[in-house]
Amino acid sequence: MDTVIDNVDYGPLAQLIGKWSGNVGLDIAPDADANPDESPFTNVITFTVAGAADNAEEQKLVAVKYHHVVRRADNGHIFHDQIGHWIYEPSSQVIMHSLTIPRGVCLLAGGTFKQTNDESIFDVKATAGSDSYGIVQSPFMLEKAKTNAFHMQMTVKHDELSYREVTSLHIYGKDFEHIDTSTLQRITYDQD
């Protein structure tokens, strides 16, 4: 696969570009009673090119931006919307993943990329309290539904993408692992 688009070499991020659709997702979300809510979902992720960036005339980065829309399988209503970037530094092979969700939570996760045969694995983490790969959240969320940590593993194999993300919350007086998993197929290769 050619990783260069408009003179920018997107490296491992190039394989993300396009529109992906999946209908086999499962959300395990907190509920005030003892049982977590389990909701099957459909989801679409669109990755488009975001160019290159130089930081402090030293750090060379490339990035793709994404929009992730998740709908309840039973009624098609949107119940999660997420935007951000996947960022790659070729010299260190560091991967960064920024995300914003409309609950008043943003984070920057950092990690690694591994290629095994024809499978690419992106693995990133963020932790509340970290000054680098950390989490920013509204006063309400800090008090009522704090995100303590986030860990995402995303695997890409040709035109199939799967992810597992674990959002560690403190909500309703206890710790809760909010887990989302899905497998998507690429439906277009559009770059922007």
Of the candidate spans 3-11, 58-66, 116-124, 140-148, the one that interacts with ligand HEM by CB under 6 A turns out to be 140-148
Report d(CA 52, CA 63) in Å as an integer.
Answer: 6
Contact track, ligand HEM, 106-125, x by CB under 6 A: -x------------------
**145 makes contact with ligand HEM (CB under 6 A):** yes
Residue closer to ligand HEM, measured from CB, 41 or 47: 41
Report d(CA 14, CA 93) in Å as an integer.
Answer: 14
**Helix (DSSP H) and strand (DSSP E) numbers for the chain:** 1, 13
**147 makes contact with ligand HEM (CB under 6 A):** yes
Q: With b meaning 16 or more CB within 10 Å and e meaning fewer, what string describes 56-94?
A: eeeeebbbbbbebebbebeeeeeebebbbbbbbbeeeeb
Of the candidate spans 13-21, 46-54, 86-94, 144-152, the one that interacts with ligand HEM by CB under 6 A turns out to be 144-152
Contact track, ligand HEM, 151-180, x by CB under 6 A: --------------x-x-x-x------x-x
Scanning residues 55 to 114, which ones bind ligand HEM (CB under 6 A)?
A: 70, 79-80, 101, 103, 105, 107
**30 makes contact with ligand HEM (CB under 6 A):** yes
**Are the C-beta atoms of residues 47 and 56 closer than 8 Å to each other?**
no
Reported residue count of the chain is 192
Residue closer to ligand HEM, measured from CB, 16 or 49: 16
Tokens of 113: 């990329």
Which are the contacts of 50, defined by CB distance < 8 A and separation ≥ 6?
63, 64, 65, 85
**187 makes contact with ligand HEM (CB under 6 A):** no
- The residues of the shown chain that bind ligand HEM, judged by CB under 6 A, are 27, 29-30, 39, 41, 70, 79-80, 101, 103, 105, 107, 141, 145, 147, 150, 165, 167, 169, 171, 178, 180
